Every structure is written in C-alpha cells, then in structure tokens.
Amino acid sequence: MVFSGIPFLYFFLPPLLGLYFLIPGKFSWGIRVKNVLLLVFSLLFYAVGEPKYIWLMLGSILSAYIFAQIIDRLEKGRGILLAVSIGISLIPLLYYKYAGFFTENINSIFGADIPVLRLSLPIGISFYTFQLVSYLADVYRRRVPAQRNPLSLALYVSFFPQLIAGPIVRYSDINEMLDHREHTLENFSAGALRFVVGLGKKILLANTLGELCDLYRSTGEKTMLFTWIYGIAICCQIYFDFSGYSDMAIGLGRIFGFHFIENFNYPYMSKGPAEFWRRWHISLGSWFRDYVYIPMGGNRVSLPRWMFNILTVWFLTGFWHGAGWTFICWGLYFAFFLVLEKFAKPVIDKIPVVLQRIGTLFIVMISFMLFDAATMADFVRNVGNLFNFANLAGAETLYYLRSYAVLLVMALIGCTDYPKRAVLRLAEKTGTAPVMQMLTPVFVTGMLIVCTAYLVDGSFNPFLYFRF
C-alpha cells in the first residue's frame, strides 16, 4: 500500500483517523491505547503489501529490543554486543537485497556457477534496518536509554508514515513523543496541508513526468532535445516523487502528533555537490555521516584516509540505493565531485553564483540519468545524445515538448523556493496574510479532489522508492 493510492486514502486512513481521535489523548493511558492502535494499523499497512515478510520485520525488532536491553545494562563487552546486534540487523538486508548481486558477480569474476537468488525485496527493509542500527548505536553511546516497552519500540520502527520510504527517523528524535505528544487542531491542519502538498507533488508532477520519462525510454527518436527534456524530467520526477513522499510522511506524522525531521530543502538551489547533499535526502545523508563517516574518523584524519572515508561512504550510499553497479557508480560519481569541490573551492568561489548553480544542476542531472539507466551502456548512450548536434529534434520530440511544456515549467519553478517566498512576500506587503490563511482549506480540498481524480483515472501508480 502506498500513500498515493485509493486504498490508503479512502479505506485505510478514514477508519484510523476516526478511531484514533475517539481515544482521549489527555491521559497517559490514552496515549498508550493510541500507540497500540497505531501499531496495529502500521502492521496491517505493512501486511497488506508484504504479508510474508512481516515476521522478518518483527523478528528484527525483537532482536534489537533484546540486544538494546543488554547493551544498556552492561558496562563491559558492550562493543562486541553492539557489533553482533548490528550484524544480526543487517543480515536480512544483505540477504534479500544483495545476495543476488554478490553471487552474480562472483559467478562472473570466477566463472563459478553458484545459483543466483532472485528474491523480492521486503518493503522498507533498507529504511527500517537503518533505524534499528541507529537505535542500537545510540543506546550503546548512551544517547538514549533502551526502550523498555517492546510495543513502543515496534511502533517506532513500524510506524507506517515513515516505514517504507523514510525519512529515516532516529529513535532519539521521537522517543519522547512516543509517550508524550500533543494532538491539536493546528497539528492536524498543518499535517493535512503538508500531506496534500506531498500528494500533489507525487501524483500531479512526479507521476506525469514519469510518463514523459517512459516515453523517452521507449522512443526510437532519442534526439538531443528529447534527451535534455528527459534529463530535466527525470531530475524533477525523482525529486517530486521522493520529496512528495517525505512530505506525506511528515504530514501524517504531524496529524498523529509526531514531528519528523525534514528530508529535503530545495536541493536544486544548491551551489555545489556538498550543499546538494545537505539538502537532498537529509535523513540518509546525516545517517551515513553520524554512523559511518564520523566513526571512521571523518575529515580529521590524513588525506589518504579521508579519501578512503569519502569513497567508503559514497560507495555505501550508492549501494544502499540499489544492488547494481549503476548505483555504486552513482555513489562514487558524487564522491569524485565532492573531493573535486573540496580541492577546487578557491576557484569555484570565484565563479558567479548562477553558474555554480547551473553547474551543480548539470552534475546532478547526469547523476540521475545514471541512476535511472538500466545499464551503463544505456547511460553512456543517453549522455552522448545530450551532445548529438547531428540529431537535434524530430516530430515526436516537438510534440512531447509542446504537450509537457507547462508541466515542466511548473515543475522547474516548484523545485525552487521562489513560489514560497513570493507568497510570503505578497502576504507581507499587501497585508493579505489572513486571506492566505483562509485559502488553506480551499487549497487542501482542491488538491485532494484533483489528486483523487488523477488516481481514479489511472490504475498504475508505482512508487519509485518502494523497493529500496
């Protein structure tokens, strides 16, 4: 089940909202009952999409619960237990996500004939595994006490808004909220607004731009112009798809009284790759920083060691996104530009800001063309098409440009913070803030209805990050 689907919006959410807000939240028992309800619905949410793997997730939670209790109580030998517990948490991820990749490559390199496992990836495993690892590490570092209530830990890991596509919420960020949180009209309203904004990003922009990308992939007319359109479209699609889903997660969390960390901050406004990664998938970037990069020594080490740290982190970042060489290359591609940016900073700083932004966008566009490519050969061919002046445009290119021009312009503007700033400035200068405020319910209603119309019209609505 995905948020941007009729079953979630109109069959899962209404009964949950109804039951949840019928339970009084003013008393401590009320919060406990609400948590049980959220846990039951979260497991149901997971089970309807992936019934056979729910036991895997519950097993991982139980394992982390037990190990955290022991680590929390011990004074000695905690490091070994941490390593063992993290190893156990990672086993399902390694098995289901990477076993096939490793056996294929071993077969290929050594000419072996090991049967290749073709396993379907348990939904959300990359996200909840990282949450469990961060929980265990934080308990080990005594940043948080181990959670005594197994149901609370299960709710932290399986809470449906962030279960299948993040943000990767740290236990330390929400452990207080598990027992004490506010349910206010403002929270509900702000959450609903954030949710429909995300829904609109996903359904109206990402899905429609996805159609344009599909058209490029299937066309025989891979002209230079069409390839540029595809490059821009794939950047916008991935951004709106993922940030839309994060918005929906954050909005849903807010409705239920949880405040999740932001996951995106207008990444396409960045002036360099480092800034891009501070604005893009923030929860993943900060996870790798805090649980891999800094424990390895970060940048307070010798130059060769720092280079090794950077390569390791970006290798893992790419590998986390998918068990394939294109994803690994994608991660290392960013490592290259991050190192380059670091050394060339004095030169880069002299370049006009607008050119820095354009350069960053180009680097990111190429990276997402790699991310999207089925094979390295496809990627190389597509990049070549960007500069194929002998094949500028054709009838198909021009038709799709005309048909998607408005959407592309909307998407490009929507990637920036200009609309938000314009609205705020307009409200401030004209004193229309109250009017804007009153337009919120109109916007929420309109967006929800239009998104529903798009959902009802189409029956195929895959989510890009579903299988990560």
Partner 1 sequence: MNVKKVSSIATAVLFSAIVGGFFLGHVLSPDGEFTTSERRRLAQFPEISASTLQSGTFMTNFEKYSLDQFPLRDSFRSLKAFCAYNIFGQKDNNDIYETEGYLAKIEYPMKENQITGAAVKFNTILDTYLQDAEVYFAMVPDKNYFLAEKHGYLRLDYDRLQNLFFENLSPDFQVIDIFDTLEIGDYYRTDTHWDQAKLAETVDRIAEGMGFTDRLTGAYTENTVENFYGVYAGQSAIAAEPDTLTYLTSDVLDGCTVTNLETGATTVYNLDKLTDGSSMDNYDIFLDGPAALITVENPAASTDRELILFRDSFGSSIAPLFVEAYAKVTLVDLRYLSSEYLGDYVSFGDTDVLFLYSTTILNTSEMLKVK
DSSP tag of 465: G
- Give the CA angle between residues 211, 216, 220 to the nearest 5°: 135
450 makes contact with partner 1 (CB under 8 A): yes
Q: Shortest approach of partner 1 to residue 224 CB, angstroms?
A: 19
Residues 249 to 308: which contact partner 1 by CB under 8 A?
Answer: none
Residues 32 to 91: which contact partner 1 by CB under 8 A?
Answer: 48-52
Residue selected from 73, 186, 302, 431 as contacting partner 1 according to rule CB under 8 A: 186
Question: Nearest Cα to 440, choosing from 178, 190, 109, 236?
Answer: 190
* Residue with tokens 């496809």, as numbered in its chain: 378
Residues 394 to 413: which contact partner 1 by CB under 8 A?
Answer: 395-396, 398-399, 402-407, 410
Q: Which is nearer to partner 1, 389 or 460 (CB)?
A: 460
Q: Shortest approach of partner 1 to residue 266 CB, angstroms?
A: 22
Q: Which is nearer to partner 1, 1 or 84 (CB)?
A: 1
Q: Shortest approach of partner 1 to residue 454 CB, angstroms?
A: 5
Q: What is the DSSP string of 72-125?
A: HH-SSSHHHHHHHHHHHHHHHHIIIIIHHHHHHHHHHHH---PPPP-PPPPTTH
Distance CA 408, CA 415 (A): 11
Cis peptide before 295 (omega within 30 of 0): no
Give the Å distances, CA to CA, from 317 to 240, 329, 431: 20, 10, 46
Residue selected from 219, 265, 312, 432 as contacting partner 1 according to rule CB under 8 A: 219
Distance CA 353, CA 254 (A): 36
Q: Which is nearer to partner 1, 151 or 410 (CB)?
A: 410
Using the rule CB under 8 A, give the single segment among 166-174, 325-333, 368-376, 393-401 that binds partner 1: 393-401
Residues near 464 by beta carbon (within 8 Å), at least 6 away in sequence: 206, 210, 237, 238, 241, 242
Distance CA 385, CA 405 (A): 20
Residue selected from 17, 84, 90, 116 as contacting partner 1 according to rule CB under 8 A: 17
Specify whether 180 is catalytic. no
| Residue 313 contacts residue 305 (beta carbons within 8 Å) | no
In the structure encoding, which two tokens stand for residue 453, read together?
């119309």
Question: Nearest Cα to 197, choosing from 159, 162, 246?
Answer: 246
Residues 190 to 209: which contact partner 1 by CB under 8 A?
Answer: 190, 192-193, 196, 204, 208
Q: Which is nearer to partner 1, 72 or 211 (CB)?
A: 211
Distance CA 287, CA 317 (A): 10
Q: Which is nearer to partner 1, 200 or 318 (CB)?
A: 200
452 makes contact with partner 1 (CB under 8 A): yes
Size of the site for partner 1 (CB under 8 A): 57
Q: Shortest approach of partner 1 to residue 199 CB, angstroms?
A: 11
Candidate list 180, 183, 281, 321, residue with the active-site label: 321
| Residue 102 contacts residue 77 (beta carbons within 8 Å) | no
Q: Shortest approach of partner 1 to residue 196 CB, angstroms?
A: 8
Using the rule CB under 8 A, give the single segment among 73-81, 140-148, 187-195, 356-364 that binds partner 1: 187-195
In the structure encoding, which two tokens stand for residue 454, read together?
């798009």
Using the rule CB under 8 A, give the single segment among 71-79, 107-115, 169-177, 455-463 that binds partner 1: 455-463
Residue 373 backbone dihedrals phi, psi, to 5 degrees: -70, 140
Distance CA 67, CA 143 (A): 16
Distance CA 41, CA 252 (A): 13
Residue selected from 18, 111, 115, 352 as contacting partner 1 according to rule CB under 8 A: 18
Distance CA 168, CA 171 (A): 9
23 makes contact with partner 1 (CB under 8 A): no
Q: Which is nearer to partner 1, 18 or 115 (CB)?
A: 18
3-state SS class at 336: helix
Site string for partner 1, 416-435 (x = CB under 8 A): ------------------x-
Catalytic sites, residue numbers: 321
Residues of the shown chain interacting with partner 1 in the complex, contacts defined by CB under 8 A: 1, 5-7, 9-11, 13-15, 17-18, 48-52, 185-186, 188-190, 192-193, 196, 204, 208, 219-220, 395-396, 398-399, 402-407, 410, 434, 437-438, 440-441, 444-445, 448-450, 452-457, 459
